[in-house]
Structure 1
Amino acid sequence: MGRSMYIHIPFCEHICHYCDFNKVFLENQPVNAYIEALIQEMKEARRVQGDVPVRTIYIGGGTPTALTALQLRTLLEAMHAIFHLEEVEEWTVEVNPDSADGDKLAVLKAFGVTRLSIGVQTFTPELLSEIGRTHSPTSVTQAIETARAYGFDNISVDLMLGLPKQRVEDFSEAVDQALALGVQHISAYALKIEQKTVFFNRHRKGQLSLPPEETDVAMYDLLKVKTKEAGLSQYEISNFGKPGYESRHNLVYWNNEEYDGFGAGASGYDQGIRYQNINPVQKYIDAVTSGKMPRLREHKVPLIEKVEESVFLGLRKREGVEKVAFARQYGVELETLFGEEIEEGKRRGLLEESEARLRLTEDGLLLGNEAFELFLAVLDDEDLAKVKV
């Protein structure tokens, strides 16, 4: 079936106020040494795994396009030399509108990148400033036009809802502008206040003016209506794509499949073990160059946990959990393991069930975490005895 891989580029030319991903300011960072460490980590993975075809690739950050065109070329050229990439179905790179210049896009296209994910967040200038973004609405349009000029026809944009001072009208305009640009995919995420961010510090001091919950709900409802009218299908809680343009790489996560994670702070899932790499850039480089695996932590996923993950991750997808596929994988019916939880979810209006599937209701899409919690840490040894893998 092929491997999937995530590659993390932690460098940013500025730090957004909401971002808690592993990132550092680009200036004075050992970027070339980091790329060489990435390549070395990939070579070790290739040595261990053998020549396994790669199915999907996602390069995220941070800001991958904070790298120069030459640095991008060095990385992508090495990936082709290390891995079997002839059968890649989807190769995504995250792009900042400010750094989507022709030289970089030409490199991405030449080495087989098929999909761009552009961090837009909002088209309202005042809100862009509020969240610490430096691009303008005009630069988004220019980035998409440039991408199309270099042959990219699979473009996704990220939008955010629930931002400080954001009105429903602001979000409505953002969705309209994204759709008017003819993008094939929209990811829309509600703001979460995460620790170690500017927004967390402001929120703790009472200096962050967030919209009320009903405003967030109105934004989300509006998003579902507008994307449907434009021919984009909601295939996951926060993701909407034209037919055939669903993110194949992200479906790897929601289908609870394994993948490789490369780079500082990257996570992976291999042979039943979930792992996270060392976060600090220099410590990651030092670990790799000394011949060590750059692991910060590893977790052997017990079978019970894997079964539960398959349900709550699968419920993120709009199609939900396919009962026949679940029974085929685990040798037991979904209802046999989770009958009480399913009935409770239906009673609370979070879940709906057909002969073939279990999925979230419209209310469940809004209250996904409540539905997921029904399936966390509920199985015991007696249940495990019913599972046959």
Structure 2
Amino acid sequence: MTYGFDLDARLEQRDARNLRRHLEVAESVSARTRFADDPKGGPPAFGDEMVVFASNNYLGLADDGRVQRAAELGARTVGTGAGASRLVTGDTRVHRALERDLAACKGTERALVFSSGYAANIGTIDALAPDVVFSDELNHASIIDGCRVGASETVVYDHCDPEDLRDKMETRAAEADVDEQWLVVTDSVFSMDGDIAPLSPLADAADEYGAWLMVDEAHATGLFGDGGGGVVQHKGLSDRVDVQLGTLSKALASQGGYIAGDEALVEYLLNAARSFVFSTGLSPSSAATAREALRIARETDRATELWDTVATLRDGLETMGYEVLGETQILPVVVGDRGDALELAERLRDHGVVAPAIRPPTVPEGTSRIRVAPMATHSADDIAQCLDAFQSAGAAVGVL
């Protein structure tokens, strides 16, 4: 009898299911870079430069000089790390400045910054401790894990279907205690399908039953409408969403997550969200980086440049005959067969284009796809190279 862990067997099982993943070293975070296979303990050996359509760095700010200077200034003036939980000594003026700007952007009284978007989701749901969470079936893993940790019961409603949500709420209400606390949770932009949640009808359903609505703007912050907000602001719903949540690690080119809401929400979470209370505060350089990136998103036309690139790519891919899902900066190119998607991704790399294959169990069987994620900093030549690669690789694989 043994009581240890046979990790080699677990890895073999992943290999057998074609689900084992490997690290790949990038030379830089930019529209074009070189990659190296996982060097384990050795130095990386980089190959040829490739154009990257596989990053959430949507505004291309991760290597922007203004943002880099802000990171350096934050480290030099405050310190490289927060040094402690923010409830001890890790709450700095840089954190507070970022939170003021986030609150202004999101149209709320206050904001609170966490060490990651994952920590924000888990900590918030756990601290609210709802009796029932009504969760979209395609919500991010951090929402799912938050429900596992913090909800007494989780009811999953059909993707982007307010009527199914309302039906499930009606069914639950028939057997609920009068003093239950309900939370409806949804992403605003879904990362695998590139679609947008119908927030206004979801808010209507939540209002009908007196539930709270929580919206994760991870893939929307800084990209939609004027003022650097997300879908919530674009749709004019700031006053109808009780908890706005997002990340600093995508369009804002930094690290961390945030929640935005009223004074009572922030005060409660900074006392009760375990992932906030028991974590070292976000590094001052990360906070300063996110603040400068948010300023650029709010005050420049960088997002417009991204949407122009998105439109060009979508039109080009659809003209070739590809089915492209969604309505956002995430362009899921449907292939169907798992093997075809993996081969297409490899052949795209042969043409110098990095765009990942997404296959089950991440997406349903028969819907394997290539996920194309452009940046505002992709040039006309980058876009042309991407489209040419899809044309040649698609023909070679037999999906065109």
TM-score by shorter chain over 0.5: no
Under TM normalisation by the shorter chain, which class is it? under 0.3
Name the TM-score, length of structure 1 as normaliser: 0.25
Name the TM-score, length of structure 2 as normaliser: 0.25
